[in-house]
Structure 1
Amino acid sequence: MKVLWLVSSILPQAAQACGLQGDTVSGGWLTGQLNALRPVSELHLQVLCVTGQKSLTGTQDGVTYSLFPKNSDLSAFLAAAKPDLVHIWGTEYPAAAAMQQAAATLHIPALINMQGVMRRIADHLCDGLPEKVQHSPKLWHWVDKLIPGELVDDMQAQFYRLADAETSVLVRARYVTGRTDFDWLAVNEVNHNARYYPCNETLRPCFYTGSLWQPRAAAAPILFLPQGNYPIKNLHTLIQALPAVLQVYPCARLHIAGWPPLDKGPLLRPVTDGLFPYKAYCRKLAQRLGVAEHIRYLGPLDAASMRQAYLDADVFVLPSTCENSPNSLGEAMLLGLPCVVSHAGGIPDMLTHEREGLIYGNATDAGALANYILQVLQSPDGGAALGQAARARALQTHDPRTNALTLWKIYADILGQQP
């Protein structure tokens, strides 16, 4: 069985096979799923990474990797590769639609993999934000053309464009795979005839081995947020929740993975604030509420550093206004870290409230978020029972062998073969 994967980033395995180094490498949970599938001897995988890089090809551990620049002729590549099946990871990028069309022309079945749900992300991008943050004046749109920034209204418009592209792909899809009721409903809304196959994620290998999270009696507890630079991650609500936490734990800290808001000094601050209105809003909000000194950005983190950031924390916090099945939540659960999360998107499919974590209803309800954070911190066991239950759940959801076999069986079912 020959299967061609199409992905929109350079996987670490692809970089190694093609002799690349540097920070363009990404891939997240695809790395784990690929590693888990390699032992299936009946399966021959080829991975095509469509990126902005030049064309490169290499082989590693029996898998052939090809790097193509964006807007390359995928029809010619597909005709030469002659796979039995094409697995398209993601729906919204141009190459996904191009590969779907090329596969249809050559009568090769295509499996579409849901990742985010773009329309819901666009709908909820600005939840809880003031109008002045959501909509930048015309001046900043003009400046943005000269010095690109992150205007929220432009960001939302881009998400809606991606949503249209996603819908176009889903309408034509015969086979779709996803992992939550949330993404299944998104598929069903636009295409009742697509066959939907559930298949969970296999996460990065380092989260399955090594030391686990341990509770501690911390006078200065650490809250960990895996990303805070985009409104969908809802840092603004977590900042609003911090004063209530600090009333009980005056030395509490919030650690955030990623770079802090850009600051080029007081002279250029009006420019950076205008070009990056969400980050400026979060900075000013933290200053106004007196919590800025309790917030620390950790910078970009590789897998090992991210793992340590989880272990250093006392509570994992994910207040996102929209998610499908966030990898960061799965990683925190695998390590046994107690989690406080919003009832958004597919998150409720990953853990059960008061059994494997705490789920608060409205993502922008800062009071509810603060109460649940304090509930974990003030529990007699420091959240250990929640963390242990979360780990047990995650070991099932993200089991590499189970998920690899599930995906292999999906391939076999589409091709009418007996796995």
Structure 2
Amino acid sequence: MQILWISYINSWTPTLVSLLKKENKLSIIVPTGGKSTDYEQVDDVDYYYLHIPPKDTMKRMTRENFERYQTVITKVMPDIIHVHGTELNFAQIQNYTSIPIITSIQGILQAYRLFSSNYLQDSIIKPFRTIKNRMGKGGYLVMNKKFDRGTWEYEKEILQKGKYFFCRTNWDRAQIIFNNPQAQIFQGEELLRPNFYQKSNSWNLHDCQRYSIFMPSGFNPIKGMYLAVKTLALLKKFYPHVSLNIPGIKETEFYRQGMLDWLLGEEYIRYTRHLVLKNGLKENIHFLGRLSAEEMAMQMQKANVFLSPSSIDNSPNAIGEATMIGMPIVTTAVGGVLSMLKDESSCLFTPAGDEYTMAYQIKRLFDSDSLTTNIAQGAYQVALKRHDRQTTVQQYLNAYQTIIEQ
């Protein structure tokens, strides 16, 4: 099979690339690119970098931009094109070519929109706005602002006109079925980074740091960092040395003060910092900066509990990685997470936006070794099935072949 991907190279894609290319010819278009070159071959995979300006990927695709894709398509002559994601306009090549196209659903921005504030009221965060925010730049509701300007109308068209989609959860299937009843849906799981397969089922209650919490970071309110801080404040009443470990953010960046912060800072970070200082949590929170996959796995091994306080998500990679490590998980019962995990079996669910139940579920794990161990093992059993490499590769190959034959 001659397969052409249109994709950024995300954390999970190299694992799938290495397995797909064994028996097939795989080429990849990286639309905006981060390379100075236009082409390179790495491990028998052809990479084409188009260097399209990012702003041109967030509006309807023009014929001119499609011609840049077409140059590569003509060169590769693929049997099928696989586009990753609807958040940007890549899949709009379906308007210009007859080659069969299947689109993987990642997040769906139009469905995320209503959850973008993560239950944080505008009146609460307003006093923390910076000059930049007041000028309409950045801000914790960036997603809504873009959507209101019609930035993501192309996504609606992709969902409504596409013929074939890869889905992973009931949540993304619902989005496709009710936007496009004629579409054909295939199951296509995501694979994890190799480090997590190497360290599978490596979490151990007796080796972890008791009363420590690990959460995936994110400046976007959807990820719920401010709720994690509120949860920590509640838990500190029972466990004075409880800790929250957050990757992706430098401590110096989070605690930045002065005129520069007032001019160019972000209201959401300023508000979250206010919560940390107000509740005396500075010594309980550790910002880890950017971590490699190896470092991320090690931090998961060390933590007592994995926390995901998101207001919406489809199939978060970080939760998948936590299941493979085999650690106990507390997560909001939102979106596709409901298809990944089962309450009281492979996780403890909590309502979105509710720091009290979040803290209570974590407290249950802190207080019961047997519950913690059972939840951790339940999570690992999910990973064995959901992220099996051979099964996942076969899902993709079967879908490609079915579409080509049709």
Same fold (TM over 0.5): yes
Aligned in 2, Cα 1:159/1:289: closer, same or farther, shift over 3 Å?
Answer: farther
Aligned in 2, Cα 1:363/1:328: closer, same or farther, shift over 3 Å?
Answer: same
Q: Does the alignment pair 1:81 with 2:49?
A: no
Distance 1:133 1:67 in 2: 43
- Give the CA deviation at 1:183: 0.5
Q: Secondary structure at the match of 1:332?
A: helix
Aligned in 2, Cα 1:192/1:244: closer, same or farther, shift over 3 Å?
Answer: same
Contact 2:130/2:267 (8 A) holds in 1? no
Partner of 2:215: 225
Contact 1:2/1:45 (8 A) holds in 2? yes
Counterpart code for 1:227: S
Which among 95, 106, 110 is matched to residue 101 of structure 1?
Answer: 95
Structure 1 residues 321-356: Cα deviation after superposition (integer angstroms, max 9, x where no partner): 000000000000001110000011100111110011
Contact 2:247/2:290 (8 A) holds in 1? yes
Aligned in 2, Cα 1:363/1:385: closer, same or farther, shift over 3 Å?
Answer: same
Contact 2:104/2:166 (8 A) holds in 1? yes
- Give the CA deviation at 1:262: 4.4
Partner of 2:123: 132
Distance 1:3 1:327 in 2: 24
- Give the CA deviation at 1:259: 1.3
Partner of 1:34: 17
Correspondence 1:6-405 to 2 at 5 A: 6-7=6-7, 9=8, 11=9, 27-39=10-22, 41=23, 43-53=24-34, 54-70=36-52, 72=65, 73-97=68-92, 99-103=93-97, 107-132=98-123, 140-141=132-133, 143=135, 150-158=138-146, 161=150, 163-210=152-199, 212-216=202-206, 220-260=210-250, 261-272=253-264, 275-360=265-350, 362-381=351-370, 383-405=372-394
Contact 1:74/1:102 (8 A) holds in 2? no
- Give the CA deviation at 1:133: 5.6
Contact 1:58/1:64 (8 A) holds in 2? yes
- Give the CA deviation at 1:387: 0.8
Structure 1 residues 111-163: Cα deviation after superposition (integer angstroms, max 9, x where no partner): 0110002122221010221213666879545646xxx6x31233422256454
Distance 1:397 1:412 in 2: 22
Aligned in 2, Cα 1:184/1:311: closer, same or farther, shift over 3 Å?
Answer: same
Partner of 2:56: none
Contact 1:6/1:87 (8 A) holds in 2? yes
Q: Secondary structure at the match of 2:78?
A: coil
Counterpart code for 1:46: S
Counterpart code for 2:170: D
- Give the CA deviation at 1:175: 0.4
Structure 1, unaligned stretches of length 5 or more?
12-26
- Give the CA deviation at 1:314: 0.6
Counterpart code for 1:6: I
Q: Secondary structure at the match of 1:298?
A: strand
Distance 1:78 1:219 in 2: 52
Distance 2:324 2:204 in 1: 13
- Give the CA deviation at 1:52: 4.5
Structure 2, unaligned stretches of length 5 or more?
54-64
Distance 1:134 1:193 in 2: 43
Over the aligned positions, Cα root-mean-square deviation in angstroms equals: 2.2
Distance 2:225 2:87 in 1: 25
Distance 1:241 1:142 in 2: 29
Q: Secondary structure at the match of 2:240?
A: coil
Aligned in 2, Cα 1:342/1:350: closer, same or farther, shift over 3 Å?
Answer: same
Distance 2:171 2:290 in 1: 29
Fraction of identical pairs, as percent: 27
Counterpart code for 2:299: A
Counterpart code for 1:112: T
Aligned in 2, Cα 1:114/1:96: closer, same or farther, shift over 3 Å?
Answer: same
Aligned in 2, Cα 1:262/1:155: closer, same or farther, shift over 3 Å?
Answer: farther
Structure 1 residues 86-129: Cα deviation after superposition (integer angstroms, max 9, x where no partner): 000011213332x22233xxx20000110002122221010221
